[in-house]
Amino acid sequence: MSLTNIEQVMPVKLAQALANPLFPALDSALRAGRHIGLDELDNHAFLMDFQDYLEEFYARYNVELIRAPEGFFYLRRGPPR
């Protein structure tokens, strides 16, 4: 039996983000069009911590994770491929 190195499949930080209990509800909220601002401290801090990895994750679905100049996060459809 061989073990698969998770880094061959995805970055460890992305795996940590996807396994975080905050992710499912936060992902649903973002996909539903919600903006996540500083008033949602836990979710906002999570997005700040994993922003680079989640940008890569959402790009696979032709969606961009945007951090607006005002500090809130939202999803925007990416350019057609």
Confidence at residue 1, expressed as pLDDT on a 0 to 100 scale: 44
Q: If you average pLDDT over residues 27-54, what whole number do you get?
A: 98
pTM of the predicted protein model: 0.85
- The 10s digit of each residue's pLDDT in 4-33 is 565 567 899 999 999 999 999 999 999 999
- In words, the CATH class of domain 11-77 is mainly alpha
At residue 7, the 3 state secondary structure works out as: helix
